[in-house]
Structure 1
């Protein structure tokens, strides 16, 4: 039976999947070919804007435009003209629905997963060609394919001539440094504001210490302690807002620096001031620990 089995929209520059059909094909051969499709998605910029790849009883077709590629997996006897008309409809709908600035700034896989509804409906139409009313478009596409045939991608070009299991296929890494964190909470916002307040207080006292140093030739170590305290507070705010590697460890180190600076400055601050700075540091460290990266969407491995 000639059918479209799977379709996806992918950002061409890094292979980030933007949307995809969510049906789970039970055919093992189709599942294996989808692995080849994922490898191909990371090399899209190396190929022309209209391509076909044959793998066993299946074909992978895709078109690219404006930095976005539209890919599909179908049975080998599915008509090529229907396949590329299907991809053309996905392209027209996607570029009119979403702005390029949002596409280029997307950092999570399947950021436009709601487009799956259109993919599913279009896939159903093209899996029942008798219901199609786009006869003129089919004729135009047939002429275009005859004049400019799709580029045939070989498995050798992907380094997959020995199969998908004979190579180490690195996991997608394009989004790891910018993974989104869980939504902000009220306590998290309060902790961040308090950290900014502490940073401001340290900065003001630091400038006053600089003035005193210039006038009285005092010890410069207090100036350093105030500015280090400022930097530690600001860095805690940064760790609370952004996801980085070793984030929790860095937050504990920043809190340790806050404690050390306040221990050194104990003669210049009363007990309540010391308690306030250390407590805010501890509270912010806790909020950084509690605000974890968002889990992958349910369709991540679609």
Structure 2
């Protein structure tokens, strides 16, 4: 029998469950699928905004938008178009019911447990397809799925399940950058401008260092390398702030570490205030990269 068995609403940035349907099923396979779903919820920001995973005789489908992901477990025979129509309906209602500020400030699991009532009612409707014919437009969703099919995940993409580690996915290098980032803040713009300024200062000093070497062979060429490495790190920080890439936070931290190391090497050519300025700007933009999280594709409900 084709049915929706479980559904939940999860915050993308940290995997915090916001609401979920009541689960009466004790089937071992379903419980195993829910473990996959739980592990997926912890790394949603790494995945495209519409995905599906085959877990035994069950399918896990999810769609993410505006920092929230809508996830479900259904039988493998349940039509994909109905599954994503179901998730789309949950998404529409949740966006209307709760504002972004309240969602972002939630600290306890299942802070929106009252939404469970809507999930249950919608699940019942979608488990009785005859009642759906006049209430949803399957043609629109079918067209959208053909144009932008859900990404097929594998068990290895989930990570650790039941204590066993799977290889980390590397296939998202071409996908993650297409994800949208949260809107730019004033602090983020300031951090980018300052980082570009630091990169420019490093570049100018590097060019002058090259001229000095050409005039005086006793000059240390390592200073030139340090200046240009600092320039590259500052520019790369700006790139990470603007674009969504795999391991953004880790790359940004490495760039910050490179800024610190290059300035430590240049301590003889710079005073304490100059070094402090470069390091502070590097720390500032690293923080802004971390704060600007990926988000799902915004729904075009009014188009």
- Normalised-by-shorter TM-score class: 0.5 to 0.7
Question: How many angstroms apart in 2 are the aligned matches of 1:7 and 1:123?
Answer: 8
Match of 1:148 in 2: 148
Match of 2:57 in 1: 57
Paired residues of 1:13 and 1:67 also in contact (CA < 8 A): yes
Question: How many angstroms apart in 2 are the aligned matches of 1:80 and 1:40?
Answer: 19
Encode CA deviations 1:179-209: one digit per residue, 9 max, x unaligned.
xxxxxxxxxxxxxxxxxxxxxxxxxxxxxxx
Question: How many angstroms apart in 1 are the aligned matches of 2:94 and 2:147?
Answer: 26
Please list every run of at least 4 consecutive aligned residues from structure 1 whose deviation after the TM superposition is greater than 2 angstroms. Answer: 133-136, 163-168
* Alignment pair present for 1:126 and 2:126: yes
Encode CA deviations 1:124-162: one digit per residue, 9 max, x unaligned.
0000001113466211000110111100111112235xx
Match of 1:210 in 2: none
Task: Report SS of the residue matched to 1:48.
Answer: coil
Match of 1:74 in 2: 74
Task: Report SS of the residue matched to 2:8.
Answer: strand
Match of 1:12 in 2: 12
Q: Which has the higher contact order (CA 8 A, sep 6+)?
A: 2
Paired residues of 1:36 and 1:164 also in contact (CA < 8 A): no
In angstroms, what is the RMSD of aligned CA positions?
1.5
2:162 to 161, 164, 189: 164
Change (3 A) 1:136 1:114: closer
Task: Report SS of the residue matched to 2:137.
Answer: helix
Change (3 A) 1:94 1:36: same
Match of 2:25 in 1: 25
Contiguous gaps of at least 5 residues in structure 1: 169-302
1:204-215 equivalence runs, <5 A? none
Match of 1:138 in 2: 138
Match of 1:110 in 2: 110
Following superposition, the deviation at residue 165 of structure 1 comes to: 4.0
Change (3 A) 1:136 1:36: closer
Paired residues of 1:4 and 1:72 also in contact (CA < 8 A): yes
TM-score normalised by L of structure 1: 0.53
Match of 1:40 in 2: 40
Question: How many angstroms apart in 1 are the aligned matches of 2:136 and 2:22?
Answer: 30
Task: Report SS of the residue matched to 1:164.
Answer: coil
Question: How many angstroms apart in 1 are the aligned matches of 2:43 and 2:105?
Answer: 20
Following superposition, the deviation at residue 111 of structure 1 comes to: 0.2
Task: Report SS of the residue matched to 2:109.
Answer: coil
1:179-218 equivalence runs, <5 A? none
Contiguous gaps of at least 5 residues in structure 2: 167-303
Question: How many angstroms apart in 1 are the aligned matches of 2:134 and 2:152?
Answer: 26
* Alignment pair present for 1:87 and 2:102: no
